Structure 1
Amino acid sequence: MDTQHFIVARAASRWSVSFHGTQEGPFSTKEAALEAAIGAATAASEQGMMVAVLVQDIESNFHTAWTSGGDAPDGPLASSA
């Protein structure tokens, strides 16, 4: 089964969450967007999907913040960009 991705990214001064062509937000902070993404990903996981939440950093790289498999994040996510 393929892993589906919830993407937390910044555009201008706002944050958004994207999943399968849909977008939620804007959120004023990365933390608020991340919380919304993890909540939605958790619900999708409970429906049997393999999911991950990826967060874009200031250099446009993506880091894993949460996975349905419980893997640890792969990058610094606590600081705001």
Structure 2
Amino acid sequence: MYSPARNGKSVLRAVRVPHELDEQIRRLCEQHSLSYSGCVIRLARQGMEQAVNSSAGRYQSLDTLINDVLAGNAREG
């Protein structure tokens, strides 16, 4: 059952990432004085914005990109 967040944020639980990626994120956190979650949020936002901007018009919005990714229809480059 869907329950909207009261503060506009959601909590992700137990996301498994490869050790190498975890180390890269930790280094970025230290270099930029960010919390781990703050760094992951920035990386996710930037990655999604980059995907929309480099989609050569396939995605007019982040919503269409997300829908295609979740449906397994997203294409590279």
TM range (shorter): 0.3 to 0.5
Greater radius of gyration (CA) = 2
Taking CA–CA contacts closer than 8 Å with sequence separation of 6 or more, which of the two structures ends up with the larger relative contact order? 1
Between structures 1 and 2, the one with greater strand share:
1
Instruction: Using structure 1 for the length normalisation, give the TM-score.
Output: 0.33
Instruction: Using structure 2 for the length normalisation, give the TM-score.
Output: 0.34
Between structures 1 and 2, the one with greater helix share:
2
